[in-house]
Amino acid sequence: MKFELLVSQGSENQIHRDVKTFEQWDSLTAKFSGAANLPFLLLQLPQIVLNARNLLAGNKTALLAVPWLGMLTCLLGNLSLLSYFAKKRETEVILVQTLGVISTYVVIVQLAMAEAMPLPHFVLTSVVVASGLVLNFMNYFKLLNAGIWRFWEDFITVGGLSVLPQVMWWTFVPFIPNSILPGTVAFVIAVVAVVMARTGKLSEKGTKFVGSISGWTATLLFMWMPIAQMWTNLLNPDNIKGLSAFSMLLAMIGNGLMIPRALFIRDLMWFTGSTWASFLHGWGNLICLYCFNSISREFFLAATLTLYIWIGIALWRDTKAYGYSSPLRSLKELAFGT
């Protein structure tokens, strides 16, 4: 009996120690996600300041270099992800996505002031942004009717699914014909899928899949951006000189800071998007800059070493927090669930 009591006490101590480690890593990963606000703010701020200077100088034509369609795509992606994380009550990431919506909208306002964006498109965008922010925060604080929230989810599902294939198609114009067919077909499919889900014509799994489309399309939109950038780099190597190494580093850091949290809460969509953006959009473009001698070897190696050490720490700490013996189990749970 005495031996059993000692074993029991030892087990309780072990459980207490594991719980403490788990809670500490839970708190830290949330703080890392919140800290991502800083690099993302610094990422957009130079463009906002530059646009403001050009507007004050009366140089409206300079703002034509900023593609309003690309900014609109980013805005839709941020709004979709804001809705996704608001539903999951991930406060720190909600702030990151809200900052993304607001900072991107500021750029769109500047483009509208420079007449670089059609006024009707700007007005419609403003209505969507205002509605999206209000609805998301009302839903976060549980002040919103469930029916209204479902309508908003359906709206961003249709919007995201329509935009994604169209943006992917436009990336390769003029090598392929300029057409709105991909977006139109995707729009029809999205509307049919949403209507079938809401009228109970789909199975439970099918309805759940339709409900997850908006988050995944937003993630895929952001995942496509570095591919489009690298395609541009391949076609026009001289354009690489126009890329900012500091901006690519900020993109790598901002997305990298969110990887531990995505892994910790076993969110495959978030983990996929953050890892992809950190490696391909940030580090991948740094590779392009290094290959074309736009950055020093020391800068590239320091960035590379930092990224890989950070990923290693995230995997190690997650394994320790859950009390596992191998990070492969964490990755397995992330991909396939517990």
DSSP class per residue in 56-122:
HTT-GGGGGGS-HHHHHHHHHHHHHHHHHHHHHT-HHHHHHHHHHHHHHHHHHHHHHHTT-S-HHHH
Q: Count the neighbouring beta carbons within 10 Å of the beta carbon of residue 121.
A: 15
pLDDT tens column, 85-127: 998 888 999 999 999 999 999 999 999 999 989 999 999 999 9
**59-73, 92-106, 261-275, 284-298, range with the lowest pLDDT:** 59-73
The dihedral sign for the CA sequence 106, 107, 108, 113: positive
**3-class secondary-structure state, position 173:** coil
Q: Considering Cα of 245, then 292, then 301, then 329, what sign does the dihedral take?
A: positive
Task: Give the three-class secondary structure for 293.
Answer: coil
Closest CA to 225 of 95, 87, 49, 43: 43
* pLDDT exceeds cutoff 60 at 8: no
Q: How many CB atoms lie within 10 A of CB 247?
A: 18
Query: Is residue 266 pLDDT above 80, yes or no?
Result: yes
Backbone angles phi, psi at 289, to 5 degrees: -65, -40
The C-alpha atoms of residue 96 and residue 85 are separated, in whole angstroms, by 10
* pLDDT per position as a tens digit, 166-221: 888 988 888 899 899 999 999 999 999 999 998 988 888 888 888 888 889 888 88
Cβ atoms of residues 176 and 190 within 8 Å: no
Does the pTM of the predicted model rise above 0.85? no
